[in-house]
Structure 1
Amino acid sequence: MTFSLDPADPAFARDPYPFYAALRAAGPATRVRLANGTSAWLVTGHRQVRAALADPRFSNVPKPNAGRARAGCPADPARAALARHMLNTDGPDHRRLRHLAVAAFTPRRVDAMADRIRQLTDTVLAGLSDRLHRDGTADLVDDFAFPLPVLVIGEVLGVPERDRADLRTWTYQVGSPADALPAGTTERAWGRLHAYFDQLIADKRRAPGEDLFSSLVHAAEPDALDRDDLLAMAFLLLFAGYETTMNLLASASLALLTDPGELAAARDGGPDRWAAVIEETLRHGSPLEGATWRRTTEDVDLGSDTVIPAGSSVLVVLAAANRDPEVYPDPDRFSPDRYLPGTDRAPGHVAFGHGPHVCLGARLARLEAQLALPRLFDALPTLRLAADPADLPYRPGLLVRGPRRLPVRPA
């Protein structure tokens, strides 16, 4: 059977799961023809996804010259810097970079951010409440799910308070669809982020702070990061730090707003219930739809007469694995009960990946959601959707997933 896919198709973006179910039924991995004329192998089963993510024959290193800057394009130096990040490395290079990042993201350091996250959440919620009072409606993505994690990443990077508004604006601009802003806006925002991070690194070298990024800037020899490594790390922390959490907050809010029973159970159930809501959202909503693109370094036999040839582009689809019916009964149903404490707790999901490239920011994303979601629904107990859930647009593509807009209003 031949499979074709247009990742930009709004219908696919809204509900990719029937397509992924068909791929799972076809075999451990399936070659898919993409709308841009290229082909890729998609791995969709839970067991096969975990195996591929831990298999060194699936390399994260991009093809040579990928991300190389072009003269005269303000966005390309930033994109080239981002292309150097540690998710695009394997072996010793990856272990060196990850070792440094792990030292910065210790559980103690992440958990110490809890009070500041509460303060930032209250600031964002005050703005959301003002918008609802003034306009009668608000967008839970633009007014809550996006600004909060950007502010938190500002804390991680040690961005001064005076620069936070600019960071939020530039991040919004580079993350917006190409046709959503005036021509040239996205390119200029990339360039401004690149210049800002370059200066931020120089400032941290001269006067380090207590932030996590300062510890990376001042990592001891022989593992010290050079300027290009630090630029790549800054971009990775920004985009990985806000994108996953933004989609987690938006998808969890949508799931609860469309299921009053689950919302009431969460509000009455305490921390364990909220933790279960978050884990089920990570499984059911998969803020990261696919892991970073990989290439096979040799032929890989996945069994069932499926051999992925050497040099193939491969996407390990986390969203598909998290709805594998062999692992999760009734996988398309949103049911936080799966992750309540007890002997019947569901198997772990792969929302943050698996293996050597598993997401370092998982603890921070969970912490933000565990603190922000109860505060949202406590502060705005009458919040309701202001649109038909079936009409909500989703982010296109194969790497991240979440609603682009989430209109809400008070009851």
Structure 2
Amino acid sequence: MSAALPLVNDLAFKREAHARFAELRERGPVHHVTQPNGLDLYLVVGYDAARTALAHPDLGKDPVIAAAKLESAGVTVYQGGGRGLGANMLMADGADHTRLRGPVAKAFTPRRIESLRPRVQQITDALLDAVEARAAAGHEVDLVAEFTAPLPVTVICELLGVPLAAQDDFRRWTQAALNGGSAVPGEEARAGAVALNGYLAELIAEKRKQPGDDLLSALVAISDADGGALSEAELLGTAVILVVAGHETTVNLLGNALAALLDRPDQARLLRERPELLPGAVEEFLRWDAPVEQSTMRFARRDVELAGAVVPAGSVVVVALAAAGRDERAAADPATLDVTRTDGRHLSFGHGIHYCLGAPLARLEGEIALGTVLRRLPGLRLRCAYGELDWTPAGIMHGPLALPAVLAEV
């Protein structure tokens, strides 16, 4: 099915994404669409087709086969030499993917993530101390700027061994990198990617000289010990993707969840009264309002059939994760947020070999952050209507730009 449907940089679409995705699902699970920059691609909106596409062996991540098409649209998916997201597991297939993912999997262990629980709670409490003090004094607070953004940035900085003084720069650089990753990259996006690469290259050199008890030092040690399992460019690319994917997705998970809970006091009350529901509620937030709205691009190595649609060889394929989560095959009454739901399925962490290694960390932060806000600040209220919130305007992410809130009497 074909449609001249602008995506990614079309602000009108981004504001109405869930309604537009619902319209598309009614017409079919796969659509041939055109972006504002002229790039045509196949957009997958149905849950079953999305799950198939994410793990399909003939839908690879190497953009070489679509290089001419991408270049004509001005799209830079991968750029080496310290100018882009670099060589990393998200852009690799087969043996290369296994080789690039291996060192991260060895360093990013469940035990390491679980050991972060006390520190994540400590960071959460410290941030909420400041939020509570300002709100109690009658000030409006912005929960994105003061809570949902600094929490994941602080956690990933500490995990990787990045000085916290760089966290504000990291947020700016990673936002630029993500917005340039699937749209036409402007000078700001390029500058952000260059700055991020430059900083991390210097940090890797420091970790090699003076390793610490952190993930980046562990990655350097594992790579060096395995006889150069990763080239220097691949080590840098891996560090870049860990920073980018390791916090921006969680910023939006927390922002989307808090926006929904502040707009639905009945759901917030349920979680406050029954905190044991929190793990399942985090999965429901991931399904209902996916923080990564659209997947990174995939490229058809040969003709591929998806839900009855033929995707020609050389085509670009994008999976609308947000659309898949609200498909009726993902949950009963999928447009309804229900924190008690047990039948929901989502693809917010991907599926197949590219399933997100950071999923346990995101879940940990989600449970701690949301549970603590609900427990400590039951009187928190949005200062505006949910429909008046501004959302991330470009790129593959979805989350509120700000969450203005006040503290009311309970």
**TM-score above 0.5:** yes
1:135 deviation in Å?
A: 6.9
Judge which range, 185-194 or 31-40, deviates more. Answer: 185-194
Q: Which among 154, 159, 163 is matched to residue 157 of structure 2?
A: 154
CA spacing shift, 1:213–1:326, aligned 2, 3 Å: same
Q: 2:63 is aligned with what amino acid?
A: P
Structure 1 equivalent of residue 332 of structure 2: 329
Q: Is the 8 A contact 2:46 2:327 kept in 1?
A: yes
Q: Is the 8 A contact 1:100 1:223 kept in 2?
A: no
Q: Is the 8 A contact 1:386 1:409 kept in 2?
A: yes
1:189 deviation in Å?
A: 4.8
CA spacing shift, 1:190–1:41, aligned 2, 3 Å: closer
Q: 1:369 is aligned with what amino acid?
A: G
Instruction: Structure 1: give runs of 5+ residues left out of the alignment.
Output: 70-75, 339-344
SS of aligned partner of 2:63: coil
Structure 1 equivalent of residue 59 of structure 2: 58
Q: Is the 8 A contact 1:300 1:309 kept in 2?
A: yes
What are the equivalent positions in structure 2 for 1:379-394 lying under 5 Å apart? 379-394=376-391
1:153 deviation in Å?
A: 0.4
Structure 2 equivalent of residue 309 of structure 1: 312
Deviations 1:60-112 (A, max 9, x none): 1123595676xxxxxx85443x1322101111110111111111111111101
SS of aligned partner of 1:321: helix
| Structure 1 CA distance for aligned equivalents of residues 88 and 288 of structure 2 | 28
CA spacing shift, 1:203–1:387, aligned 2, 3 Å: same
1:127 deviation in Å?
A: 3.0
What are the equivalent positions in structure 2 for 1:360-399 lying under 5 Å apart? 360-397=357-394, 399=396
Structure 2 equivalent of residue 260 of structure 1: 265
What are the equivalent positions in structure 2 for 1:163-242 lying under 5 Å apart? 163-172=163-172, 174-175=174-175, 189-219=192-222, 220-222=225-227, 224-242=229-247
What are the equivalent positions in structure 2 for 1:48-197 lying under 5 Å apart? 48-63=49-64, 66=76, 77-80=81-84, 82-132=85-135, 136-159=139-162, 163-172=163-172, 174-175=174-175, 189-197=192-200
Q: State the aligned residue count.
A: 389
1:188 deviation in Å?
A: 5.3
Structure 1 equivalent of residue 345 of structure 2: 348
1:198 deviation in Å?
A: 1.3
SS of aligned partner of 1:337: coil
Instruction: Structure 2: give runs of 5+ residues left out of the alignment.
Output: 181-185
| Structure 2 CA distance for aligned equivalents of residues 172 and 334 of structure 1 | 31
| Structure 1 CA distance for aligned equivalents of residues 19 and 146 of structure 2 | 31
| Structure 2 CA distance for aligned equivalents of residues 329 and 259 of structure 1 | 19
1:190 deviation in Å?
A: 4.1
SS of aligned partner of 2:340: helix
Q: 2:328 is aligned with what amino acid?
A: P
| Structure 2 CA distance for aligned equivalents of residues 192 and 132 of structure 1 | 35
RMSD: 2.3
Structure 2 equivalent of residue 286 of structure 1: 290
Structure 1 equivalent of residue 183 of structure 2: none
| Structure 1 CA distance for aligned equivalents of residues 269 and 89 of structure 2 | 41
CA spacing shift, 1:276–1:311, aligned 2, 3 Å: same
TM-score by length of 1: 0.88
CA spacing shift, 1:152–1:132, aligned 2, 3 Å: same
Q: 2:172 is aligned with what amino acid?
A: Y
Deviations 1:189-225 (A, max 9, x none): 5444322211211111112222122111111214532
Q: Is the 8 A contact 2:173 2:195 kept in 1?
A: no
